[in-house]
Amino acid sequence: MKILIKSATVVQPESKYHQQKVDILLDNGKIEKIDKSIAAKADQTIEKENLHLSLGWFDSSVCFGEPGYEERETLDNGLKTAAKSGFTSIALNPTGNPIADQSTSIKFLKSHSGEYGVEVHPVGALTVKSESVDLAELFDMKNSGTVSFSDYKKPIKNPNLLKIALQYAQNFDGLVQSFPQENAIARNGCAHEDYQSTQLGLKGIPALAEELQITRDLFILEYTGGKLHIPTISTEKSVQLIKEAKKKGLDVSCSVAIHQLVFTDEKLQNFDANYKVLPPLRTSKDAKGLIKGLKDGVIDMVTTDHCPIDIEEKKVEFENAAYGTIGLETAFGALQKIFSTEKAIELLTKGRERFGLNTSVLEEGAQADFTLFNPEEKYTFTKNDILSTSKNSMFLETELKGKVYGIIANLKFTEA
Give bridge partners of residue 34 from the DSSP assignment: 24
Residues 71, 164: Cα–Cα separation, whole Å: 37
Residues 345, 86: Cα–Cα separation, whole Å: 11
| Secondary structure string (H, E, C) spanning the chain | CEEEEEEEEECCCCCCCCCCEEEEEEECCEEEEEECCCCCCCCEEECCCCCEEEECEEEEEECCCCCCCCCCCCHHHHHHHHHHCCEEEEEECCCCCCCCCCHHHHHHHHCCCCHHHCEEEEEECCEHHHCCCCECCHHHHHHHCCCEECCCCCCCCCHHHHHHHHHHHHHHCCEEECCCCCHHHHCCCCEECCHHHHHHCCCEECHHHHHHHHHHHHHHHHHHCCEEEECCCCCHHHHHHHHHHHHCCCCEEEEEEHHHHHCCHHHHHHCCHHHCCCCCCCCHHHHHHHHHHHHHCCCCEEECCECCCCHHHCCCCHHHCCCCECCCCCHHHHHCCCCCHHHHHHHHHCHHHHCCCCCCCCCCCCECEEEEEEEEEEEECCHHHCCCCCCCCCCCCCEEEEEEEEEEECCEEEEC
Catalytic residue among 305, 310, 369, 385: 305
Q: Is the peptide bond before 13 cis (omega within 30 degrees of 0)?
A: no
Residues 203, 200: Cα–Cα separation, whole Å: 9
Is 305 one of the annotated active-site residues of the chain?
Answer: yes
Residues 245, 239: Cα–Cα separation, whole Å: 10
Q: Is the peptide bond before 98 cis (omega within 30 degrees of 0)?
A: yes
The residues annotated as belonging to the active site are 305
